[in-house]
Amino acid sequence: MFREKLTTRKNLEALKHEIDLDEHKLSINEVYRRYGTSPAMGLSEERASVILERDGPNDLTPIRRTPEIVRLAKNMFGGFAMLLWIGAVLCFIAHFLELYTLDDPQYDNMYLGIALASVIIITGFFSYHQQAKSSKIMESFKYLVPQQACVVRHGKSRNINPDKIVVGDIVEIQRGNRIPADIRIIRAHGLKVDNSSLTGECEPQVRGIEYTNDDILETRNLAFFGTFAVEGSCIGVVIRTGDKTFIGRIANLTAGIERGHTPIAVEITHFIRIITIIAVVVGVIFCICSLFLGYTYVEAVVFLISIIVAQVPEGLLATVTVCLTLTAQRMARKNCLVKNLEAIETLGSTTVICTDKTGTLTQNQMTVAHMWFDNHIIDSDIDAFHTQSNYIKYSHCWSALARCATLCNTATFTDDPNNLSKPVLQRQCEGDASEIAILKCMEDITGNVSNYRSINSKVCEVQFSSSNRYQLSIHSTDDNDERYLLVMKGAPEKIIKNCSTIYVDGCEIEFNQFWKTQYETAFKELSNHGERVLAFADYRLPLNKYPRGYEFDCDTINFHVNPYFEHFNFPTDGLRFLGLISLIDPPRVNVAEAVQKCRSAGIRLLMITGDHPLTAAAIARYTGIITDQDTTEQLIENVFDNNARSCVIHGSTLKTMNSIQLDNLIKYHQEIVFARTSPQQKLIIVETCQRLGEIVAVTGDGVNDSPALKKADIGIAMGITGSDVSKQASDMILLDDNFASIITGIEQGRIIFDNLKKSICYTLSSKIPELSPFLLYMIFQIPLPLGTIAILCIDLGTDMLPAISLAYERAESDIMKRPPRDAKTEHLATDRLISMSYGQLGMIQAGGGFFVYTIVMAENGFFPSRLFGLRKSWDSRSINDLEDSYGQEWTYEQRKALEDTCHTAFFVTVVIVQWTVLLCCKSRRNSLFRQGMSNHVLNMSIIFETLLAILISYTPYINRGLMMYPLKLHWWFLPLPFTLLVLIYDEWRKWIIRKYPGSIIDQETSY
């Protein structure tokens, strides 16, 4: 068993390393040789089955699932529940001890044991139900696996089930297929694959046969299992199958990662430890006392157990669960869907957010950002356009650039009246992402693109290809110019070579060195913004050479076969340079604000993206993740400079770093952008942060983010763009994909931590009035002032709703202005909280209880002097003539009726004093008058608990069932002085804390 666990851990470690793959570097023949295959024949069936036997099916092996019963058991016996179980078992032991040693056993301990057990079972099922909804990680990966695959075997191609594919198989992939395994491409026809599940980049990537990059994700001649062939077709040889594939490793990594305990779980364990220590210490002290007082050993043990059990906060588990559930519901209303209840608090204590770029910070939609013409860079923001509208209206250069951009563009709006009636930015389009961006921009500024295109009809076009990196089209224009117009768009360095003139301020002038420098400056500036720059040029074809009706030959067929050989019957050089348009996937609207809020809340933001360093840095600057104004190059150099605040680090640099360097990197730089990172690296970054004691939140949407999402203390997936896998691996889902929603989450998380503290303070404060009657009963031998059932009525009845209502309490101060709590020093339950709750609020309550107890006893004949030492006779069923202070004689039943009346009065007192305890717990520093009474749930809960107390004490049958008796009206008013005392005392305490921060009262009582 242990060995098995060790090997899984080793495997997991292995998975964290980058995939070891060199097939893309080898020549194709070497690959054939390695796998003993040939492109024409493929593998033989026999050999394929041998390999299948050896490697196993090409399938993602589901990890061994924890059986449901084990998960249920974990909820039933983990942490807090265990404490309660121990309590319950102790109760039963005490009960049986009594049963076998006393003639006249009480059933209190049995009731208590049963109540404890039911609380655990009910809350156990509740949290099991909450958990059962999540964790279907492996299932979600299955959607990436294709249904069918076309394989060449024995020289014949056939469709087989993809799990039968083995390494060395030759597979054929058509447009729209999912790639059935990791393949090295042998032949490709205009293949484009959607690698978004691996890299997070949404744009389809061109794939071919050439080896272009050392990086396996970048190089053109590899395609990966689970990715999608968007365009074209290809033939490839299988080099990895099943769990060894890129995605298989991610899947296994994700599923295999085990997360540590959530901060709240750690806090609760800490809390349990404190409570247990106190309970056992108090129990043992009084157990020894009782031996000295002359009780028997059995009695002493029963006392010990009763004292320990009396301090178990029965209702707290339910309170915490309900508080978290309520917050989860509130967050769901603000578009944060919480899958794991404990994660809510985790978000509040988060110290580092590792955020993905594409889709999280950005809109995942290319948009025109800037234009350069007339030697000006113009912001393409609509508002900016309107302020400069005159300038644009009269700029010839602008109209030429706009014409070029409109015409030399193959993207169209989806032809659907419904779609066309929408605002431009929201319309559905067909075509390449950058062309769509330009189309939308033009539609927005000039309007009616389709009409303009139809009157300037296209005569001929050359499509964009990754090899020529430009596209051109020839149009007849509507501006009474007989000449054909050639418009060209493409990569600037390509276009610049084809231009001889430049159009500036309405004049066509020579594209000389000066203008080239101007262009260089503009280009650099734009690309430094992380923008993708496209250049535009046009050319009027001379009428004499190219008259109307001229047959343009784009050499389409030849062009596709060998794009490097351009053979057109028209010139593509000597063009007129018009300008640049730069595109970017812009940050979402609220992101910058949200980042600012994170920062003021003391949370570090790290950007981890698969994107290019320049683009990443630009977005980081836009959103405020990087505040350093240095150039990106400088930032990249900053990596090894521990004094620099910000840095940008490339995945390949990251790969060379050891863990110490990585620790230093994250420790010394406040603002870090990780670019070109692999899924494994994301995971390593998260692990490094956690090693440094940070509580890490990770946002992401792609499959590639899922290991990091799983490993993070809280994984946050995107609801709209997020992949199924990422949603399964995460703890929380942002339904609106809006990074700003995280802020709400953090705020709620922090509030709930504060409020849980208040809730615990409130719940624990009734422990002293519950415990002290027993202690006095034991030591002074007075009749028991408060019985077990009454204690249960408080813990599981009247105290529940008020404790829960504190979850609705608003924050005391601007919690988003303070740093996240320090997990090491700032605990949920501190000794100060307990001393405050037990020692102060609890003591006043207990005082009130005993006061009322004494009054009730005295009014019925037993003066305090009579009570001392009375226990034995009082509890003896054989004594039927116990004399009180008036000489009246009481039978056993009559005394017990009086005792139960006292229990009721004590219970009611606790309820009434808890009114103001609840009000005091509303705030930890603020005066109640400042905090206000706007928490209506809390106000209602006070009324509710009072009504419940009235119901319990006055309703026939119910009161007898709970061993209560109706109280006389004036007994209800006896606790009021204590109620007031609590309020006055606590207001005074808080006033001191506010007035003299750091004073002894502040140090000892502020929790």
* Cβ at position 340, least distance to another protein in Å: 51
Q: Rounded CA gap, 799 and 773, in Å?
A: 18
Which residue, 265 or 879, is less far from another protein as judged by CB? 879
* Cβ at position 892, least distance to another protein in Å: 8
* 421-452 burial: b if 16+ Cβ within 10 Å, else e: eeebeebebeebbbbbbbbbbbbbbbeebeeb
Which among 345, 367, 318, 272 is positioned nearest to 124, based on CA atoms?
318
Which residue, 100 or 565, is less far from another protein as judged by CB? 100
Q: Rounded CA gap, 541 and 477, in Å?
A: 12
Which among 149, 144, 224, 236 is positioned nearest to 182, based on CA atoms?
224
Tokens 């404890």 correspond to: 116
Q: Around 595, how many Cα atoms within 13 Å sit in the side-chain half-sphere?
A: 25
For the four alpha carbons of 111, 117, 122 and 123, in that order, the dihedral sign comes to: positive
Calculate Rg over the CA atoms of the chain. Answer: 38
Residues 6+ apart with CB under 8 A from 597: 743, 816
Helix (H) or strand (E) holding 438: helix 433-445
Which residue, 519 or 965, is less far from another protein as judged by CB? 965
Q: Rounded CA gap, 433 and 448, in Å?
A: 20
Write out the catalytic residue numbers: 356
Residues 6+ apart with CB under 8 A from 194: 202, 204, 205, 227, 228, 229, 230
* Cβ at position 887, least distance to another protein in Å: 5
Q: Rounded CA gap, 290 and 299, in Å?
A: 8
* Cβ at position 900, least distance to another protein in Å: 8
Which residue, 413 or 892, is less far from another protein as judged by CB? 892
Tokens 């002493």 correspond to: 300
DSSP assigned state of 516: H
Which residue, 161 or 781, is less far from another protein as judged by CB? 781
On the 0-12 / 13-18 / 19+ scale of CB atoms within 10 A, 277 is: exposed
Which residue, 225 or 972, is less far from another protein as judged by CB? 972
Residues lying near another protein in the complex (CB under 8 A) are found at 103-104, 858-861, 863-864, 872-873, 876, 878-881, 883, 885-894, 897-898, 901, 965, 968
Which residue, 366 or 902, is less far from another protein as judged by CB? 902
Say if CB 533 and CB 377 are below 8 A apart.
no
Q: Where are the beta strands (DSSP E) in 567-639?
A: 575-584, 604-608
Q: Rounded CA gap, 542 and 934, in Å?
A: 80
* Cβ at position 841, least distance to another protein in Å: 27
Secondary structure (3-state) at 573: coil
Vertex 738 angle, CA 732 and 743, to 5°: 70
Long-range contacts of 53-56 (CB under 8 A, 24+ apart): 55/166, 55/167, 55/241, 55/242, 55/244, 56/242, 56/243
Helix (H) or strand (E) holding 858: helix 843-859
Which residue, 135 or 894, is less far from another protein as judged by CB? 894
DSSP characters for 654-705? HHH--HHHHHHHHHH-SEEEEES--HHHHHHHHHHHHHTT--EEEEE-SGGG
Phi, psi of 545 (to 5 degrees): -80, -35
Pairing verdict, β 671-675 and 696-700: unpaired
Q: How many CB atoms lie within 10 A of CB 139?
A: 13
Say if CB 113 and CB 95 are below 8 A apart.
yes
Q: Rounded CA gap, 315 and 317, in Å?
A: 6
Pairing verdict, β 532-540 and 575-584: antiparallel
Q: Rounded CA gap, 855 and 978, in Å?
A: 14
Residues 6+ apart with CB under 8 A from 390: none
Q: Rounded CA gap, 559 and 395, in Å?
A: 37
Secondary structure (3-state) at 448: coil
